[in-house]
């Protein structure tokens, strides 16, 4: 280990990546499109809403040239539902990630889930997976936490608290969510003992992963090391059994 | 395990009880009896690296009808004895593992390589997983109160052995990184 760098992304890197997420803004001034490597930003015309990356939204917000529209999942009612879901409905698992906006129709094409196919859509318009989902715009589904929920909400609360309805309550609910999910993350390693050695981390956000990566990997590694000798002897037994029974039922053996 | 892994080296130096299978001249001082040769059947604590070598190596049979035997026979160290195992089975969190051995799990895995003890393996795994949840909780709390494990956390840290201390540090670093980012978010 020459470089003592931690494995995976550190929290500041995760927050940096989060600035690429699209958010909806209400511009207060006109702004012509800006040519960027990732393409043009939309032209801003004052009463019309537009979707821009978070970094640009924050810049415009600081210059008082735009207001940020809070994503629907960051409203008090949605967060209350989520806390209820995490604590009462399913105290073991994390709340599920947002549903995919596109779903395969079984004939090789994907189309928007729950809506009729748009005749004008081109194949490149389909967005199927995070992190490219518009999970923090005003169209995001309410009641589901997107991948970048913690960083996005913290950033918005820090820089655009006046645009979020009922910000103090939102802040308190986010603290509750964070604590209850951190406790689940700690408890999730308990299931490693039961064999299998698989953790279910469905619905966990990027910042939570960055926070718990070292710990979870440490536990998995430790369990693997303790079980290594037993695993080796189990393999040997299996090989012996395969060698003994190989003569008559060799068809059932899987070859790797 | 790397060649320079200091914990692996320290684990190698842990004493394990070994029973000598043959009489050795001039080694009586190991049994606090320098005038006499070391009798066969004496139990002496030897470092793991030496005990392992002597137990696995076989000496030439002294007569033709005798099978080749090893120099010594290894036994489980006291930290993996039945008492400790039943205490861990009852409540993994109540046992200060560091008092048993500084490299409890390291020693445990080395002994499991030599002995086929499924029950010890299962108990060790359960202990590690159960204690890990506690370690994560303490690591988070130590970050929250800013005492970095001094005070109440120190008492807890004293009971942890090396693997667990590393785990504590990892969990604490993760929490610390997130906390630092959250505090610094308003500044930029």
Q: Domain map of chain B by residue range? A: 1-75, 78-188
Rounded to whole angstroms, the Cα distance separating B70 from A89 reads 61
Rounded to whole angstroms, the Cα distance separating A6 from A65 reads 39
pLDDT-derived band at A128 (thresholds 50, 70, 90) equals low
Written as six digits, the tokens of B50 are 């030496």
The H or E element that residue A44 is part of is none
Rounded to whole angstroms, the Cα distance separating A73 from A79 reads 7
Q: Tell me: pLDDT of A67 over 60.
A: yes
Rounded to whole angstroms, the Cα distance separating A79 from B181 reads 23
pLDDT-derived band at B149 (thresholds 50, 70, 90) equals very low
- A5 and chain B in contact, CB less than 8 A: no
Q: Tell me: pLDDT of B141 over 70.
A: yes
**What does the pLDDT average to over B7-34?**
83
- Answer CATH for B78-188 from 1.10.3720.10, 1.20.58.2050, 3.40.50.300, 3.30.365.10: 1.20.58.2050
Give the per-residue pLDDT at B139: 84
- A155 and chain B in contact, CB less than 8 A: yes
Give B64 or A33, the one with higher predicted confidence: A33
Q: How far is CA B92 from CA A11, B89, B96, B126, in A?
A: 33, 6, 9, 8
Check: CB of residue A209 under 8 Å from CB of residue A131.
no
Q: Tell me: pLDDT of A204 over 50.
A: yes
pLDDT-derived band at B41 (thresholds 50, 70, 90) equals confident
How do strand B15-20 and strand B72-74 relate by DSSP bridges?
antiparallel
Q: Tell me: pLDDT of B150 over 60.
A: no
Assign domain B1-75 to its CATH architecture.
Answer: Up-down Bundle (1.20)
Rounded to whole angstroms, the Cα distance separating A170 from A157 reads 9
Interface test with A, best of B177, B180, B187 (most A CBs within 10 A): B177
The residues on B that touch A, with CB distances below 8 Å, are: 105, 108-109, 112-113, 116, 118, 121, 124-126, 128-130, 132-133, 136-137, 139-140, 163, 166-167, 170-171, 173-175, 177-178, 180-182, 185-186
**What does the pLDDT average to over A116-140?**
62
Q: Tell me: pLDDT of A116 over 50.
A: no
Written as six digits, the tokens of B48 are 């793991």
Report ipTM for this prediction: 0.82
Would the CB atoms of B170 and A215 count as touching at under 8 Å? yes
Q: What is the dihedral of CA A212, A215, A217, A221, to 10 degrees?
A: -170
Domains B1-75 and B78-188 share a fold: yes
Would the CB atoms of A11 and B177 count as touching at under 8 Å? yes
Q: Tell me: pLDDT of A250 over 50.
A: no
Q: Tell me: pLDDT of A201 over 70.
A: yes
Rounded to whole angstroms, the Cα distance separating B157 from B168 reads 9
pLDDT digits (tens, 9 = 90+) for A96-114: 877 766 555 566 665 555 4
A-B Cβ pairs (cutoff 8 Å, strict): 98
> b/e per residue, A173-205, with b = 16+ CB within 10 A?
bbeebbebbbbbbbebbeebbeeeeeeeeebbb
pLDDT-derived band at B45 (thresholds 50, 70, 90) equals confident
The H or E element that residue A52 is part of is strand A50-53
Q: What is the dihedral of CA A209, A187, B180, A154, to 10 degrees?
A: 70
Rounded to whole angstroms, the Cα distance separating A182 from A184 reads 5
């Amino acid at each position: 280990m020459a470089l003592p760098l931690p494995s995976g992304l550190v929290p500041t890197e995760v927050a940096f990546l989060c600035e690429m997420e699209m958010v909806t803004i209400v511009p207060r001034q006109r702004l012509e499109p800006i040519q960027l490597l990732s393409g043009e930003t939309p032209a801003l015309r004052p009463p019309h809403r537009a979707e821009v990356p978070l970094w640009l939204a924050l810049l415009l917000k600081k210059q008082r040239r735009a207001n940020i529209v809070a994503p629907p999942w960051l409203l008090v009612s949605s967060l209350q539902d989520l806390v209820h879901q995490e604590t009462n409905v399913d105290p073991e698992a994390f709340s599920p990630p947002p549903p995919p906006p596109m779903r395969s129709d079984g004939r090789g094409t994907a189309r928007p889930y729950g809506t009729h196919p748009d005749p004008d859509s081109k194949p490149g318009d389909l967005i199927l997976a995070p992190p490219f989902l518009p999970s923090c715009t005003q169209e995001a589904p309410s009641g589901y936490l997107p991948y970048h929920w913690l960083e996005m909400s913290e950033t918005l609360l820090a820089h655009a608290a006046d645009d979020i309805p009922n910000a103090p309550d939102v802040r308190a609910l986010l603290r509750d969510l964070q604590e209850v999910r951190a406790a689940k993350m700690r408890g999730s390693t308990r299931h490693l003992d039961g064999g299998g050695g698989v953790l279910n981390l469905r619905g966990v956000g990027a910042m939570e992963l960055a926070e718990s990566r070292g710990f979870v990997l440490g536990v998995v590694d430790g369990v693997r090391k303790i079980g290594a000798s037993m695993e080796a002897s189990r393999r040997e037994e299996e090989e012996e059994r395969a060698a003994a029974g190989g003569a008559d039922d060799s068809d059932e053996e899987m070859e790797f | 395990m790397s060649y320079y892994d200091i914990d692996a080296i320290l684990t190698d130096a842990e004493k394990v009880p070994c029973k000598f299978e043959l009489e050795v001249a001039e080694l009586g001082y190991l049994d606090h009896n320098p005038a006499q040769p070391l009798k066969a059947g004496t139990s002496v604590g030897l470092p793991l690296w030496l005990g392992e070598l002597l137990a696995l190596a076989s000496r030439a049979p002294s007569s033709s009808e005798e099978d080749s035997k090893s120099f010594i026979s290894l036994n489980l160290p006291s930290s993996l004895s039945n008492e400790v195992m039943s205490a861990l089975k009852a409540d993994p969190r109540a046992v200060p593992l560091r008092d048993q051995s500084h490299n409890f799990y390291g020693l445990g895995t080395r002994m499991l390589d030599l002995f086929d003890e499924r029950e010890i393996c299962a108990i060790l795994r359960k202990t590690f997983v159960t204690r890990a949840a506690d370690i994560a909780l303490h690591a988070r709390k130590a970050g929250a109160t800013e005492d970095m494990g001094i005070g109440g956390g120190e008492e807890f840290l004293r009971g942890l052995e090396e693997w667990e201390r590393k785990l504590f540090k990892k969990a604490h670093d993760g929490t610390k990184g997130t906390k630092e980012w959250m505090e610094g978010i308003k500044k930029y």
